[in-house]
Amino acid sequence: MHLLLEQLINGLTIGSFYALIALGYSMVYGVLKLINFAHGDFFTLGSYLGYTVLVFGTALLTAHFGLWGGMMAATVVAAISVSIVGIVVERLAYRPVYPAGRLPAVVSALGASIFLQNAIMVIWGPRYQAYPSQLIPNMHFQFGDIFITLLQIIILVFSFLLMSVLYYVIQRTTFGAAIRAAAHDRHTAALMGIDFNKVILFIFTLGPALGAVTGVMVGMYYRQISFTMGWNYGLKAFTATILGGIGNIPGAMFGGLILGVLEMLGASYISAAWKDVFVFLILILVLIFRPTGLFGEKVAEKV
Amino acid sequence: MKSLKYLVVVGALVFLFAPSLSAADAQPVVIGLQGPITGAWAYEGQMAKQSCEIAAELINKKGGILGGRKIELRVVDDAGEPKTGALAAQKLVGQKDVVASVSTYGSSVCEPASNIYEKFKKVNIGYGVTAVRLTERDFKYFFRTCGRDDSQGKFFATAVPKKFKAKRIAIMHDNTAFGKGLAEDTKRALEAMVKSKAVSIVYYDAITPGEKDYKVSLTNLRESKPDVWYFTGYYAEAALLVSQARDIGITCPFVGGNAAINDEFVKIAGLKLAKGCYMTNEPLPGDLPYKQAKEFLAAYKAKYGDIPSSPWPIYAADALNIIAYAVDKTKSTNSDVLAAYLRDKVNRVPGITGPIGFTAQGDREGVPFYLYVVDGKGKIVIAK
Amino acid sequence: MPVNTNSTGSARTLSVPRWIMPMLAGAILLIYPFLVSDYYIDIAFYFGIYALLGLSLNIVLGEVGLFDLGHAGFYAIGAYVTAILNTRYGIPIFVLLPVSGLAAALFAYIVCSPIIHLKGDYLCIVTIGVGEIVRIALINNPFDLTGGPNGVFGIDFPRIGELLVIDSSLEYYFLIWAVVGLSIIGLISLQNSRIGRAWNCIREDGIAASASGIDVRYYKLLAFVLGAGLAGIAGNIYASKLMCVSPESFSFWESCLMFCIVLIGGMGSIPGVLIGAAFISLFPEIFRPFAMYRMLVFGSVMILMMMFRPGGFWPRKRGGVSYRSLMEDSGD
């Protein structure tokens, strides 16, 4: 029993990473119907920027603001810089392609992903980079037989906080309503006076920022980052998005958490080597019986 | 737009018809190097390139071979992929002035590449390719300067349980060709001891490389209560495993395979956790007692500031050295002459990694293994 | 009827007869290998493999508009069926050529039947899932068949007794391009047949198609089965050329490359697919000397290409993809 509980916490930690990345996918998809393949690389970029801030700002930051100050600074700098990159990528690579439809945009997104990933490699080199372990709290608690690290608790709390804020913004504010309206029907929304450009600006600021924050958290949690890791996380997060029902914000959150837990169950009760097969099989089964995902609404076919 | 379309078609054709690289003047002796200059193993490939350049420079400084001819290195990138590896090999065999090739780092890349070298009769010497099967194909032109996975597995079985007085052994691999191969060979080497009930293998499973979270696998490992834990994958995962294992309370000694521990491992895991981690390994560059090694490493350090952080690039340098040696002694660049000479006549020729000789299959004769440990300063030293 | 994005006016002003380009291309293909070294022949061989893969995906993605990002899975099935049956039972490669095509087609039939009703992106993620499941299964060596991460090695050359042994770069080159040529002939006649028209009709408007009596499910499945079969054949030739197969050749990345081939070339356009395949297979080789920077250029070129030629390099003229279907969800 204690084993299951411990694995569950591990699963939720990974799941919250997936959920935060999935939000970026889901928002972009909801409004633009675009699978933003570059999103995984925003996450990687955030991770590397956080690394640079921690490593090169060490003396300054940690001396003045302590361990927590250093972590916060890394997170904030990464989030702000990556959201700027996000807007630039949207302007340069996506906006000129929108008029041509969604498929060219997918290729453009793949191109942007290749570009970003290799730019990261050129800037930081092909080797793995290590987050400095002395700058990260590494306490762990033992409750009976259960081991939990302090960092795990921080990550879980922080992720749930972020998700709740986003949930509130999207579901309860006027601006959130505008985004949902734009996602539902862009043309009608425009007629209702919703500034579509503002909506796009918003999702391409917030999505990459969330990805970058996740990147920094992943860096601190595992301490090791590589320029290709965005691909893996991106694929999983995209899976989570679909599992929850694409374009559906709460769906993406739950999709991510469920995916993390499923992965954990597959790894501990079936086999670690087969766990991704298990995850994809569940996904396929869910889609066979609920073709629009767990939380997706049934969309009437437009004729 | 229409004209643009044709322009591109013509452009593609021009490339296809581009003349193949013409043979350079016959003066230098050209030796090829096929390695992962880009891609996931770029780090290893680039160090191999540097090592071979240094080795060639050293030979040239001493007046070259064959009475004054210089060695020229021709590098071809295989990106660490089988398909690109086959293309790279094809590129090298197509260049008539390339005498022989140092090729390559990864076993699954070496497989198709060595088929091509074999077909076009060109001596190729692997430097990081440890899969056993490579030399079981009875190829005439394939050799390797590095050891094989099963020699390491055997070493583990004879040395490790005794050292730690371990009865319960956990083996974890990473499902790569290398990691799984080593894990299987280790399991095989332990079989006799398992039968006689001297030890038992309590855990045997794979993790997926490239992921970040291994806590689930590690929790299972913890529950199997091993006395010692052998991980046969690469350093990137090893570092994660060690730090996560300590988080969830695994305290048994960690022993890594020869790709698991290097300076990067210490950096990622942090000194506190890395300290006391063991690895089975060929002697590291800095521990090589030979004169050739000291000379080579001094030259390498002078140029790049530090000695190579992994053992493999040195094997690449030795592969280049032994090719140059064979060409010099036989006064021939004929592949058949060279292959026969390497197989039958090369015996205990002093090299950077010790005396070089090849078995009838093309394996390196006698590659020693040691148990290494990370000491309190983060240095990787031979365990007492 | 679809409105073409490409005005046909410009084509009329250039008075090049329709048959000139294919003839010219054929002639160049015939002469080319006799002028260059084996290395360049091999590059053209891999170009051929990607052309075949692009053509196979084009059936699913280009003709019917179904998002398939797991095509490497079918390619892998073909390659591994060839590898396993040849190394274990010594069945000749030529016999396995149709067998591996059929095996991949059967596999596609089995896995696609339950999921064929899914729409656009949901279908897309499921195909990604299928591709990944295949790849992970290959790594995990089920029933000791696939050799795990090592793969299967020691695959024979295609041969008919001692009469015809294909073992040189030149012969492989002709083998792949003969198969590509035959596939193109077959695909062109398909495009102009009832089936091709039904496919295009489904792509443009699925609901209208089923309203006019087209069995949408059947035609979608047929596209998957044919596409997978062709990819399986590509796998067969690839396996015998490399003489070994290993899982890393069939990654998600490979599926993405095929996807790009079709979109860069122009959906549903056969010459387009050839250009897309040339771009994907030649570009990294040409720019290999640039090492680290080559993929940066590659990514930017992909973006630029979509900016300036969103319909692909050589969009299909007749029965081409309409503007509307590009704008909206396609394939359902």
With beta carbons less than 8 A apart as the criterion, state whether B15 and B7 touch: no
C interface test, pick of A35, A284, A286, A299 with most C CB neighbours within 10 Å: A284
With beta carbons less than 8 A apart as the criterion, state whether B376 and B275 touch: yes
The amino acid occupying position C295 is M
Q: Report the phi/psi class of residue A194: left, alpha or beta, with left for phi > 0 and alpha for psi in -120 to 50.
A: beta
Whole-angstrom distance, CA of residue B131 vs CA of residue C195: 49
- Name beta bridge partners: C159: C165
With beta carbons less than 8 A apart as the criterion, state whether B210 and B159 touch: no
- Residue among B223, B244, B268 minimizing CB distance to A130: B268
Q: Does A285 touch chain C (CB under 8 A)?
A: no
pLDDT of B10 reads 57
pLDDT of B281 reads 84
| Residues of chain A neighbouring B205 (CB-CB closer than 8 A) | 271-273
B276 is a domain residue: yes
Q: Could you tell me if B161 and B225 lie in one domain?
A: yes
pLDDT of C10 reads 44
| Residues of chain B neighbouring C46 (CB-CB closer than 8 A) | 83, 87
pLDDT of A63 reads 66
Bond preceding residue B104 cis, omega within 30 of 0: yes
pLDDT of C15 reads 62
User: Nearest residue of A to residue B248 by CA position?
Assistant: A147
- Asked if the Cβ–Cβ distance from B268 to A224 is below 8 Å, we say yes
- Name beta bridge partners: A141: A148
pLDDT of A188 reads 81
A141: its two tokens: 């608690």
With beta carbons less than 8 A apart as the criterion, state whether C199 and C44 touch: no
A302: its two tokens: 């437009």
Q: Could you tell me if B236 and B339 lie in one domain?
A: no
For tokens 């088929």, the residue is: B115
User: Nearest residue of A to residue B223 by CA position?
Assistant: A3
The amino acid occupying position B174 is D
User: How close, in Å, is residue A45 to chain C by CA atoms?
Assistant: 15
B66 is a domain residue: yes
Q: Can you tell me whether residue C177 is helix, strand or coil?
A: helix
Q: Does C291 touch chain A (CB under 8 A)?
A: no
Whole-angstrom distance, CA of residue C245 vs CA of residue B64: 41
How would you write the pLDDT of chain B (384 residues) with one tens digit per residue?
455 556 555 555 555 554 433 334 447 899 999 998 877 777 888 889 999 999 999 999 888 888 788 899 999 888 888 888 888 898 888 888 899 999 889 888 888 899 889 988 999 999 988 888 888 888 899 999 988 878 888 888 888 888 888 889 999 998 877 788 889 889 988 888 888 888 889 999 888 876 777 888 888 888 889 999 999 988 888 888 998 888 888 888 999 988 888 877 888 788 888 888 998 887 777 788 888 888 999 999 998 888 887 778 899 999 999 999 999 989 888 889 999 999 888 888 888 888 888 988 888 887 778 888 888 888 888 887
Q: What's the CATH number of domain A2-289, 1.10.3470, 3.30.70, 1.25.40, 2.60.40?
A: 1.10.3470
Residue range A243-247: average pLDDT?
A: 80
C245: its two tokens: 């197969």
Summarised one tens digit per residue, pLDDT across range C134-160 is 998 998 878 878 877 778 888 888 888
B360 is a domain residue: no
The three-state (H, E, C) secondary structure of chain A, written as one string: CHHHHHHHHHHHHHHHHHHHHHHHHHHHHHHHCCCCCCHHHHHHHHHHHHHHHHHHCHHHHHHHHHHHHHHHHHHHHHHHHHHHHHHHHHHHHHHHHHHHCHHHHHHHHHHHHHHHHHHHHHHHCCCCEECCHHHCCCCEEEECCEEEEHHHHHHHHHHHHHHHHHHHHHHHCHHHHHHHHHHHCHHHHHHCCCCHHHHHHHHHHHHHHHHHHHHHHHHHHHCEECCCHHHHHHHHHHHHHHHHCCCCHHHHHHHHHHHHHHHHHHHHHCCHHHHHHHHHHHHHHHHHHCCCCCCCCCCCCCC
B212 is a domain residue: yes
Summarised one tens digit per residue, pLDDT across range C233-271 is 999 999 988 888 888 889 888 888 898 888 888 888 888
User: Nearest residue of C to residue A107 by CA position?
Assistant: C260
Residue C133: other Cβ atoms inside 10 A: 21
Whole-angstrom distance, CA of residue A26 vs CA of residue A28: 5
Q: Can you tell me whether residue B171 is helix, strand or coil?
A: strand
User: Nearest residue of A to residue C118 by CA position?
Assistant: A291
Q: Could you tell me if B181 and B274 lie in one domain?
A: yes
At what angle are helices C216-242 and C93-112 packed, to 10 degrees?
140
Q: What are the distances in angstroms from CA B296 to CA B28, B101, B115, B300, B314?
A: 21, 20, 32, 6, 9
Q: Find the domain containing B59 and state its range.
A: 25-147+288-345
Q: Are strands B98-103 and B142-144 parallel, antiparallel or unpaired?
A: unpaired
Is pLDDT at A90 greater than 50 in this prediction? yes
pLDDT of C288 reads 67
- Residue among A133, A142, A264 minimizing CB distance to B270: A133
Q: Does B378 touch chain A (CB under 8 A)?
A: no
With beta carbons less than 8 A apart as the criterion, state whether B109 and B82 touch: yes
Number of structural domains (chain B) is 2
Whole-angstrom distance, CA of residue B46 vs CA of residue B312: 11
> By CB neighbour count within 10 A (0-12 exposed, 13-18 middle, 19+ buried), where does A156 fall?
middle
Q: Please report, to the nearest 10 degrees, the dihedral formed by the alpha carbons of residues C300, A23, A26, A169 taken in order.
A: -120
Cα C36 to chain centroid distance, Å, stands at: 26
User: H or E stretch including B228?
Assistant: strand B228-231
Q: Does B115 touch chain C (CB under 8 A)?
A: yes
User: Nearest residue of C to residue A37 by CA position?
Assistant: C256
The CATH number of the domain holding residue B47 is: 3.40.50.2300
User: Nearest residue of A to residue B212 by CA position?
Assistant: A222
B361 is a domain residue: no
Whole-angstrom distance, CA of residue B190 vs CA of residue B161: 10
User: H or E stretch including B256?
Assistant: strand B254-256
Q: Can you tell me whether residue C155 is helix, strand or coil?
A: coil
Whole-angstrom distance, CA of residue B94 vs CA of residue B190: 45
Residues of chain C where predicted confidence (pLDDT) is lower than 70: 1-16, 288-292, 317-332
pLDDT of B15 reads 55
- Asked if the Cβ–Cβ distance from C302 to A114 is below 8 Å, we say yes
Q: Bigger pLDDT: A98 or C112?
A: C112
pLDDT of A242 reads 85
Whole-angstrom distance, CA of residue C145 vs CA of residue C88: 9
The residues, any chain, with a CB within 8 Å of residue B213's CB and separated by 6 or more, are: A10, A13, A14, A222, B244
Banded model confidence at residue A187, pLDDT cuts 50, 70, 90: confident
Q: Please report, to the nearest 10 degrees, the dihedral formed by the alpha carbons of residues C319, C324, C325, C329 taken in order.
A: -170
Q: Where are the domains of chain C?
A: 36-251
Burial C168-182 (b: 16+ CB within 10 A, else e): ebebbbbbbbebbbe
Q: Does A26 touch chain C (CB under 8 A)?
A: no
Q: Where are the domains of chain A?
A: 2-289
Whole-angstrom distance, CA of residue B323 vs CA of residue B141: 12
With beta carbons less than 8 A apart as the criterion, state whether C151 and C140 touch: no
B with C: how many residue pairs have Cβ under 8 Å apart? Answer: 104
Question: At CA A252, angle to CA C262 and CA B211, rounded to 5?
Answer: 70
Q: Could you tell me if B93 and B193 lie in one domain?
A: no
Whole-angstrom distance, CA of residue A22 vs CA of residue A166: 13
Interface of A with C in 65-124 (CB under 8 A): 92-93, 96-97, 99-108, 110-119, 121-122
pLDDT of C6 reads 44
User: How close, in Å, is residue B54 to chain C by CA atoms?
Assistant: 21
- Residue among B2, B38, B175 minimizing CB distance to C14: B2
